């Protein structure tokens, strides 16, 4: 569909207007680069700003054919523009109120051809677009686009400078348990750890013939202080805010109290989130069933951040669970357009090996369906509202889920946890009486806490006690 001029006009992140009184303005090339490297946009030549009212009015151009010819000569000059993103249909003259304007529709460029830069200078000629106009990209943003231009995901790389001692073997064992729970007869479960890591993409053989972790294996199963050797900006942060206090609970990768890797973070955070969102608890063997649409959307938001993060970019993955909302943000931009991402069916993960590992244990059900599932949860009423934002300087994707309508918090799990902190030897009957819930509800909550790996019963039912299995769950 062709762009149409509708007055009154105003410039936006996707619309740039210039007077072009003296022909083709040289400044359009900064905008051309910016549109190519961001979300695309339209440049209109022949629009002027009234000096007094500052309103935009159509003044037209004197020689549209000359301007268009000059544009094509310049855009096809590799010394001026690194990539030709437009076709004949994108550049044309239009008649508006008896005046001629030139319209140039610049598409978002596929990641394989970014960054698009001008004046044969990658560092000073690369631009992006925000609501304030065009801006010079930082060196970090340029490097990010170059990384994303590679055809293969970078997490496949074998790290020959590292050995298996960088991995937390208890995390790997936990992952194997998850595969066993999901598909107990999977043939890979018979493999030893070395073979198992190679088939799932967590390790590979280097030029020295020895086994080394891949970037994906390091991120998923590594020890935090070794992960930051490869990714200095790596950081995972989960916070809960139940009231006015800054936060009531926090889990972050640099605490030194746990491994700090991606898989343990996902397991711990997904378990915490299940206490906030209605999610019927039902076990079929070891496999949990009965997830609500709301919890699936919450889990997809978390999964999306971990799979699509650019762990080289600063600020890391931040997950904040508030009284009525969840915010999940990750470094890096979308590798495909947001419109394509929410339609579903198209997948271009930044960390393809990590996605493969999560898929193997049943946590990525349909490739390319993550954002679609989240958006669909709003349409069905499971989530009150969904907002997805892509920002720059630094590059970041943020997903905000309003959980205030259909989603009701299940406080029974947190109440039982509080009771156990006060009296780890309490029986089901004592806990039920203490917190005012039925014994059936308490038993269900205890079963869920055991399934999530948060507590373990030590000793008999009558004389034993409950033990917290991991410091991070307290």
pLDDT over 90 at 237, yes or no: yes
Q: What is the 8-class DSSP label of residue 293?
A: H
> Could you give the strand order of the β-sheet that contains 249-252, starting from the edge strand earlier in sequence?
249-252, 236-240, 317-321, 325-331, 396-402, 385-391
Secondary structure of the chain: what % helix, strand, coil (to 5)?
Answer: 35, 20, 40
Q: What is the 8-class DSSP label of residue 70?
A: H
Task: Please answer whether residues 249 and 272 qualify as being in contact, where contact means their C-beta atoms are separated by less than 8 angstroms.
Answer: yes
Q: Same structural domain for residues 364 and 417?
A: no
Q: Same structural domain for residues 294 and 424?
A: no
Q: Same structural domain for residues 398 and 425?
A: no
Domain at 466, CATH number:
1.10.10.10
Task: Please answer whether residues 131 and 12 qualify as being in contact, where contact means their C-beta atoms are separated by less than 8 angstroms.
Answer: yes
Q: Same structural domain for residues 377 and 424?
A: no
Find, among 305, 308, 337, 313, the residue nearest to 393 by Cα. 313
Q: Same structural domain for residues 197 and 332?
A: yes
**Residue 89's pLDDT band (cuts 50, 70, 90):** very high
pLDDT over 80 at 285, yes or no: no
Domain at 227, CATH number:
3.30.565.60
Higher confidence at residue 294 or residue 268? 268
Residue 77's contacts (CB-CB under 8 Å, 6 or more residues apart) are none
Q: Same structural domain for residues 214 and 103?
A: no
Residue ending a domain, among 367, 384, 402, is 402
Q: Same structural domain for residues 235 and 107?
A: no
Asked if residue 100 belongs to a domain, the reply is yes
Task: Please answer whether residues 334 and 313 qualify as being in contact, where contact means their C-beta atoms are separated by less than 8 angstroms.
Answer: no
Asked if residue 231 belongs to a domain, the reply is yes
Higher confidence at residue 214 or residue 412? 214
pLDDT over 60 at 473, yes or no: no
Residue 101's contacts (CB-CB under 8 Å, 6 or more residues apart) are 5, 44, 45, 46, 47, 58, 60, 61, 64, 93, 94
**Structural domain span for residue 434:** 412-473
Q: How many domains is the chain partitioned into structurally?
A: 3
**Residue 408's pLDDT band (cuts 50, 70, 90):** very low
Domain at 91, CATH number:
3.30.950.30
Token pair in block for residue 183: 């598909």
What average pLDDT does the segment 422-437 reach?
Answer: 85
pLDDT digits (tens, 9 = 90+) for 289-303: 446 777 888 888 999
Find, among 386, 252, 368, the residue nearest to 307 by Cα. 368
Task: Please answer whether residues 428 and 446 qualify as being in contact, where contact means their C-beta atoms are separated by less than 8 angstroms.
Answer: yes
Q: Same structural domain for residues 68 and 133?
A: yes
**Highest mean pLDDT pick, 56-65, 154-163, 418-427, 433-442:** 154-163
Q: Same structural domain for residues 419 and 398?
A: no
Residue ending a domain, among 402, 426, 443, is 402
Q: Same structural domain for residues 421 and 293?
A: no
pLDDT over 50 at 407, yes or no: no
pTM given for the model: 0.76
Residue 70's contacts (CB-CB under 8 Å, 6 or more residues apart) are 23, 24
Q: Which residues pair with 167 in a beta bridge?
A: 222
> How far apart, in whole angstroms, are the C-alpha atoms of residue 305 and residue 250?
18
Asked if residue 368 belongs to a domain, the reply is yes
Token pair in block for residue 418: 């509080």
The pLDDT value given to residue 374: 81
Alpha helices in 245-327 (DSSP H): 262-273, 293-308
What average pLDDT does the segment 440-456 reach?
Answer: 75
Residue ending a domain, among 102, 126, 148, is 148
pLDDT over 90 at 128, yes or no: yes
Residue 446's contacts (CB-CB under 8 Å, 6 or more residues apart) are 416, 428, 455, 466
Alpha helices in 183-214 (DSSP H): 193-200
Asked if residue 2 belongs to a domain, the reply is no
Torsion angle, CA of 139/142/144/146, rounded to 10 degrees? -130
Q: Same structural domain for residues 215 and 311?
A: yes
pLDDT, averaged across the chain:
85
The position carrying tokens 């762990």 is 311
The pLDDT value given to residue 278: 60
Q: Same structural domain for residues 103 and 249?
A: no
Token pair in block for residue 230: 């490869």
């Amino acid at each position: 569909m062709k762009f149409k001029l509708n007055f009154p006009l105003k410039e936006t992140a996707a619309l740039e207007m210039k007077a072009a009184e003296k022909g083709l303005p040289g400044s359009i090339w900064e905008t051309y680069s910016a549109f190519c490297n961001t979300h695309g946009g339209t440049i209109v030549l022949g629009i002027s700003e009234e000096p007094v009212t500052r309103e935009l009015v159509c003044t037209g151009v004197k020689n549209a054919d000359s301007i268009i010819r000059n544009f094509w000569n310049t855009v096809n000059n590799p010394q001026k523009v690194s990539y030709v993103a437009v076709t004949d249909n994108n550049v044309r003259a239009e008649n508006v109120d008896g005046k001629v304007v030139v319209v140039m529709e610049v598409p978002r460029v596929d990641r394989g051809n970014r960054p698009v830069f001008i004046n044969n200078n990658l560092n000073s000629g690369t631009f992006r677009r925000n609501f304030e106009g065009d801006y010079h990209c930082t060196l970090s943003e340029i490097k990010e686009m170059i990384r994303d231009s590679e055809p293969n995901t970078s997490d496949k790389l074998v790290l020959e400078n590292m050995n298996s001692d960088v991995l937390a073997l208890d995390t790997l064992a936990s992952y194997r348990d998850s595969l066993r729970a999901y598909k107990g007869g999977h043939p890979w479960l018979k493999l030893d750890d070395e073979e198992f890591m190679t088939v799932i993409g967590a390790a590979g053989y280097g030029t020295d013939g020895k086994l080394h972790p891949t970037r994906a294996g390091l991120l998923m199963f590594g020890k935090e202080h070794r992960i930051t050797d490869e990714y200095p900006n790596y950081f995972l942060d989960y916070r809960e805010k139940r009231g006015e206090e800054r936060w009531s609970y926090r889990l972050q990768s640099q605490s030194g109290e746990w491994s700090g890797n991606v898989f343990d973070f996902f397991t711990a955070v997904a378990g915490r989130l299940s206490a906030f969102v209605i999610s019927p608890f039902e076990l079929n063997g070891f496999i949990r069933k009965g997830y609500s649409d709301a919890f699936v959307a919450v889990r997809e938001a978390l999964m999306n951040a971990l799979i699509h993060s650019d762990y080289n970019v600063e600020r890391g993955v931040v997950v904040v669970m508030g009284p009525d909302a969840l915010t999940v943000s990750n470094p890096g931009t979308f590798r495909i357009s947001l419109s394509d991402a929410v339609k579903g069916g198209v997948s271009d993960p930044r960390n393809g090996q990590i996605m493969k590992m999560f898929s193997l244990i049943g946590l990525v059900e349909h490739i390319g369906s993550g954002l679609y599932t989240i958006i669909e949860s709003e349409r069905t009423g499971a989530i009150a509202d969904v907002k997805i934002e892509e920002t720059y300087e630094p590059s970041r994707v943020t997903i905000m889920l309003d959980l205030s309508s259909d989603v009701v918090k299940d406080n029974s799990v947190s109440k039982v946890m509080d009771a156990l902190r006060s009296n780890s030897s309490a029986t089901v009957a004592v806990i039920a009486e203490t917190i005012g819930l039925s014994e059936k509800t308490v038993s269900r909550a205890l079963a869920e806490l055991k399934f999530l790996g948060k507590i373990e019963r030590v000793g008999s039912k009558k004389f034993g006690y409950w033990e917290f299995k991991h410091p991070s769950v307290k």
